[in-house]
A and B are shown apart, each in its own frame.
Chain A
Amino acid sequence: MGFRTLCRVLPVLAFLACPALAAEPLVVGVNNNDRPFCWTNERGELTGFSVEIARAICKAMESECRFTATSFADFLPGVVDKRFDFVVANVLRTAEREKLVDFSKRFWRSSSMFVGKPGSIAEVSPQSLKGKTIGVQKGSVQEKYLLEKFADVVTIAAFATNVERNNALVAGNVDLIFGSTVSHYAFLGTKDGARFDFVGSPIDGQGLGGDVAIPLAKGRDELRKRLNAAIDTILQDGTFAKINNSYFSSSVF
């Protein structure tokens, strides 16, 4: 029985199998330099928490995926322009972003925090932040928050990647960095990060904390359903926990 015959004779099989086999590989956007979520290792392979999760999701969807690394600020435009089928990175689901794209269900969640020299600020306030230079990732909710709240008292330094932002802190070019708690946790555990600490308290209101989900173009409900099913699958079969525990000390889901 030929492949075409199979597709014709068994529509159910055809429905399940043929698109997966016949379709173009899905293009997945990932971060180009954001340890521990996504980076290129010594062998030139993409690796990291997001990449492994993305691979697990593709496997659960039985789809072939092709990864494209790009900067955070390019994720949503890429999805809107259909350059990416979806993006697996630390993109928080916010009401504003939902106007542009659809989101899957969450696959991890985070709050936002400042990191700096230990004890450099006690609480986050215009007074304590006054005159500081703060590094953020370009296009992130944290950048937006600083622009809205503290633009008149702080200097905002936006970086394309989290690694550049972190390097700026290590080099002393910025006083504080502002970003995802989970991301900071990984940085603080490194040798470079050892001199720094969480400062202030976590912020998760105003879109700064909550669900990190997979953005995809609006109207692609079929893909969204498959992504959600795949997230359920990897949560239930232990794949997620395995990946989680190899990067973090506690569950980020």
Chain B
Amino acid sequence: MTLPSHSTPADGGQATPPRRTYPLRYLLNFSGLALFAVAALTLWVVVAAQIRITAVAVDTRDNVLPVIVTRQEVARDIERLILFGEALLNAGDPVRRRQARLAAQALVYNEPGFRSDEKIKEVGLRTLSTLADLATRLGQRDALNTEAFKLMMELDEAFKSPAAGGESWQDLLIRTMRGDSAATLDALAQELFAALKAGDAKQHALLVGKLERLVAVRREIVEIDHGSAQAWESTTRELKSVTDTLSAQAQQLTSERFSEIQQLASRAELVGSVGLGFAMLVLALFAYAAHRFFLRPLEQSTANLVQALQGEDVRLAPRSAIAEIGSIVMAAGTLVENTRTIEEERRKVLSVRLDAAESASRMKSEFLSTMGHELRTPMNGVLGMAQLLKMSELNVEQQDEVDAIIASAESLQTILADILEFVAAEDGYLVVRPNPCHLAELLGEVNAGFAVAAAAKNVAIHLDVADTVPELLTLDAPHLRKVATILLKNALAFTAQGKIELAARMDGPQCLHLTVSDTGVGMTPATVAQLFQPFYQADSSHTRRHGGIGIGLALARRIVAALGGTIAVESAPGVGSSFEIVLPVTVA
């Protein structure tokens, strides 16, 4: 396991100088205050704008609307005043003229609109005086008109002669009564005088005076009519210009006020949305900051701790600007680092121990190998000399003694060979050389090797090679022989009486089962578990009874393993043991 570096700048690891950090409560206080300030400011601005709108609305209701309404009322009252004036002008009798004038007076005197504004008051009073004047003039006109009518009747009655120009005297008089301009009256007067001249001279002197008076009265009436019409027209014009001005002012006031309110409302709307947007932005920033500086470091630290405790490789969490979070992250980092150090140290110790063990084992093998060779050379010497001695002339007693020497030497040689082979197998030097081989013969030879010893112990050894086993199989005969020998020797050693069976069978075309079973002492499961360890013996007393150095089964297992097979054992104390070897083979 390799440990990555944790001091890269991106990680802001423990190695870099510590950045400035701030305690969480300050940050929270600051954030809260900032948010509060922004929200309060926005709210204040919006509320201020709304208060302003309300104030404008109240002002509109209390000050502007009454002005508008008053102006409209005054305009309406002036229209009424004009109507009263028209009524006065058109009234045929003084009573109706008085009624019209009183109505106008009541209006101007009673309506506040005619008194609050100086200009309108003046216009109203002037109109009243115009109406008073008109009433007087119309009174005079009434008198004149009565006189004119009387004169006309008298003239008409006094002078019946037809007119010279075809038009009758009466018609001329009627036209005179209707004439509405000075010029027309002058022309008519000439015609009338002409007609009068053409008539009866007796009446002439009397009628001329009356006719002159009639024409003069008519002239005065026409003048009064013209004067009244002019006076009233100019008054009407003035009144209408006042109403037009008032209406225009009312309209302007209305539109001004509404656009002001609209402007304020849209400003409030703008401020409100900008403020809201800003508050949202600040909130988003806070959320990001909380994630970036609070949640993520915390989350990663937790994950790191879990990972570190499970022995996995970890990246350190980024440092946080928040002091408390920074401390947690740092603590987690320290913990992770500590865990790593402990792990590393443990690994180092283990590897040192392993190295030591391996080296000890190698030294042991070298020692054994060297010792084996060193032992074998003198043994060969001993055996060779003993056999030379046997060939010399010896008595029977000496013969026996030499035989004993030879047997002991051979036994020693076998043990030495076993040890050397075991060492070789231990070092991984075992060379496998498969060759075609007659299995039944091979097993028969092994069996025959133990026939004497078995007979001596009164134990029968049965060889049972199944029919399915082919005659020739390709396998490493010397090693198989070695294994079979070890197993048979072991079985014979632990079997006091009964029988031993050596059996071979095929399980499929390429799998050879070789079984060695006995009716010996058997083993406990604890013994079975330790059985294939080198130098292990089920019972230390056994060494004394059965001999052997305890490497047989270990050697057998190593050989089987080298041949690519397995070895297994089943055993029960007092019943016996059964060893089974499974070997891959090919039919030769």
A interface residues (Cβ-Cβ under 8 A, vs B): 109-111, 113, 181-182, 184-185, 188-189, 194, 198, 201-202, 204, 209, 248-250, 252
Interface pairs (20), CB distance under 8 Å: A109-B112, A111-B110, A111-B112, A111-B115, A113-B109, A182-B106, A184-B106, A185-B102, A185-B105, A185-B106, A194-B95, A201-B109, A204-B115, A248-B106, A249-B84, A249-B99, A249-B103, A249-B107, A250-B107, A252-B110
Known: A198-B109, A250-B77, A250-B80. A189 touches B102 (CB 8 A): yes
Of chain A, the residue at the smallest CB distance from B73 is: A251
State A110–B110 Cα separation when bound (angstroms).
5
Known: A189-B99, A194-B98, A249-B84. A181 touches B106 (CB 8 A): yes
State A105–B107 Cα separation when bound (angstroms).
22
State A131–B98 Cα separation when bound (angstroms).
29
- A62 CB, min distance to chain B CBs, angstroms: 30
State A181–B104 Cα separation when bound (angstroms).
12
**Which residues, 90 to 123 on B, are CB-close (under 8 Å) to A?**
95, 98-99, 102-103, 105-107, 109-112, 115
Known: A185-B110, A252-B110. A198 touches B105 (CB 8 A): yes
In addition to A185-B103, A249-B99, 20 A-B residue pairs with Cβ atoms within 8 Å of each other are: A111-B110, A111-B115, A113-B109, A182-B106, A185-B105, A185-B106, A189-B98, A194-B98, A201-B125, A202-B110, A202-B115, A204-B112, A209-B112, A249-B80, A249-B84, A249-B102, A250-B107, A250-B110, A250-B111, A252-B110
Task: Enumerate chain A residues within 8 angstroms of B98, measured Cβ to Cβ.
Answer: 189, 194
Q: Across the interface, do B109 and A111 meet the contact criterion of CB distance under 8 Å?
A: yes
Task: Enumerate chain A residues within 8 angstroms of B77, measured Cβ to Cβ.
Answer: 250
Task: Enumerate chain A residues within 8 angstroms of B106, measured Cβ to Cβ.
Answer: 181-182, 184-185, 248-250
Task: Enumerate chain B residues within 8 angstroms of A188, measured Cβ to Cβ.
Answer: 102
Of chain B, the residue at the smallest CB distance from A188 is: B102
Q: Which of B80, B98, B110, B115 has the most CB of A within 10 A?
A: B110
Known: A110-B110, A113-B109. A250 touches B115 (CB 8 A): no
Q: Across the interface, do A250 and B109 meet the contact criterion of CB distance under 8 Å?
A: no
Of chain B, the residue at the smallest CB distance from A248 is: B106
Q: Across the interface, do A181 and B112 meet the contact criterion of CB distance under 8 Å?
A: no
Task: Enumerate chain B residues within 8 angstroms of A109, measured Cβ to Cβ.
Answer: 110, 112
Number of interface residues of B (CB under 8 A): 17
State A249–B111 Cα separation when bound (angstroms).
12
Task: Enumerate chain B residues within 8 angstroms of A110, measured Cβ to Cβ.
Answer: 110
State A113–B102 Cα separation when bound (angstroms).
13
- A177 CB, min distance to chain B CBs, angstroms: 15
Of chain A, the residue at the smallest CB distance from B110 is: A181
Q: Which of A184, A189, A250 has the most CB of B within 10 A?
A: A250
- B513 CB, min distance to chain A CBs, angstroms: 108
Task: Enumerate chain A residues within 8 angstroms of B109, measured Cβ to Cβ.
Answer: 111, 113, 181, 198, 201-202
Task: Enumerate chain B residues within 8 angstroms of A250, measured Cβ to Cβ.
Answer: 77, 80, 103, 106-107, 110-111
State A188–B110 Cα separation when bound (angstroms).
14
- B163 CB, min distance to chain A CBs, angstroms: 46
- A28 CB, min distance to chain B CBs, angstroms: 25
* Pairs of residues from A and B, 6 with the lowest C-beta to C-beta distance, nearest first: A249-B103, A185-B106, A202-B109, A181-B110, A250-B107, A181-B109
Task: Enumerate chain A residues within 8 angstroms of B102, measured Cβ to Cβ.
Answer: 185, 188-189, 249
State A199–B345 Cα separation when bound (angstroms).
125
**Which residues, 104 to 150 on B, are CB-close (under 8 Å) to A?**
105-107, 109-112, 115, 125
State A9–B125 Cα separation when bound (angstroms).
63
Mark each residue of chain B from 402 to 446: 1 if its CB lies under 8 Å from any CB of chain A, else 0: 000000000000000000000000000000000000000000000
State A181–B105 Cα separation when bound (angstroms).
9
Task: Enumerate chain A residues within 8 angstroms of B111, measured Cβ to Cβ.
Answer: 250
Task: Enumerate chain B residues within 8 angstroms of A201, measured Cβ to Cβ.
Answer: 109, 125
Task: Enumerate chain B residues within 8 angstroms of A181, measured Cβ to Cβ.
Answer: 106, 109-110
Of chain A, the residue at the smallest CB distance from B100 is: A249
Task: Enumerate chain B residues within 8 angstroms of A182, measured Cβ to Cβ.
Answer: 106, 110
Of chain B, the residue at the smallest CB distance from A110 is: B110
State A187–B111 Cα separation when bound (angstroms).
18
- A189 CB, min distance to chain B CBs, angstroms: 6
- B402 CB, min distance to chain A CBs, angstroms: 144
Task: Enumerate chain B residues within 8 angstroms of A248, measured Cβ to Cβ.
Answer: 106
- A154 CB, min distance to chain B CBs, angstroms: 21
Of chain B, the residue at the smallest CB distance from A205 is: B115
Task: Enumerate chain A residues within 8 angstroms of B125, measured Cβ to Cβ.
Answer: 201
Task: Enumerate chain A residues within 8 angstroms of B99, measured Cβ to Cβ.
Answer: 189, 249
State A142–B106 Cα separation when bound (angstroms).
18
- B318 CB, min distance to chain A CBs, angstroms: 69
Task: Enumerate chain B residues within 8 angstroms of A209, measured Cβ to Cβ.
Answer: 112
- A181 CB, min distance to chain B CBs, angstroms: 4
Of chain A, the residue at the smallest CB distance from B103 is: A249
- B93 CB, min distance to chain A CBs, angstroms: 12
State A185–B84 Cα separation when bound (angstroms).
14
Task: Enumerate chain A residues within 8 angstroms of B80, measured Cβ to Cβ.
Answer: 249-250
Of chain B, the residue at the smallest CB distance from A202 is: B109
Of chain B, the residue at the smallest CB distance from A113 is: B109
State A113–B99 Cα separation when bound (angstroms).
18
Q: Which of A185, A201, A202 has the most CB of B within 10 A?
A: A202
Mark each residue of chain B from 72 to 98: 1 if its CB lies under 8 Å from any CB of chain A, else 0: 000001001000100000000001001
State A133–B384 Cα separation when bound (angstroms).
188
- B69 CB, min distance to chain A CBs, angstroms: 12
State A188–B102 Cα separation when bound (angstroms).
7
Task: Enumerate chain B residues within 8 angstroms of A198, measured Cβ to Cβ.
Answer: 105, 109
State A189–B105 Cα separation when bound (angstroms).
12
State A28–B59 Cα separation when bound (angstroms).
38
Task: Enumerate chain B residues within 8 angstroms of A113, measured Cβ to Cβ.
Answer: 109
State A181–B109 Cα separation when bound (angstroms).
7
Q: Which of B77, B84, B98 has the most CB of A within 10 A?
A: B98
- B125 CB, min distance to chain A CBs, angstroms: 8
State A38–B175 Cα separation when bound (angstroms).
53
Of chain A, the residue at the smallest CB distance from B77 is: A250
Task: Enumerate chain B residues within 8 angstroms of A185, measured Cβ to Cβ.
Answer: 102-103, 105-106, 110
- A37 CB, min distance to chain B CBs, angstroms: 14
Task: Enumerate chain B residues within 8 angstroms of A252, measured Cβ to Cβ.
Answer: 110
Of chain B, the residue at the smallest CB distance from A180 is: B110
State A175–B455 Cα separation when bound (angstroms).
183
State A70–B102 Cα separation when bound (angstroms).
29
Q: Which of B80, B99, B106 has the most CB of A within 10 A?
A: B106
Of chain A, the residue at the smallest CB distance from B106 is: A185
Task: Enumerate chain A residues within 8 angstroms of B95, measured Cβ to Cβ.
Answer: 194
- A87 CB, min distance to chain B CBs, angstroms: 21
- A185 CB, min distance to chain B CBs, angstroms: 4
Of chain A, the residue at the smallest CB distance from B80 is: A250
- A202 CB, min distance to chain B CBs, angstroms: 4
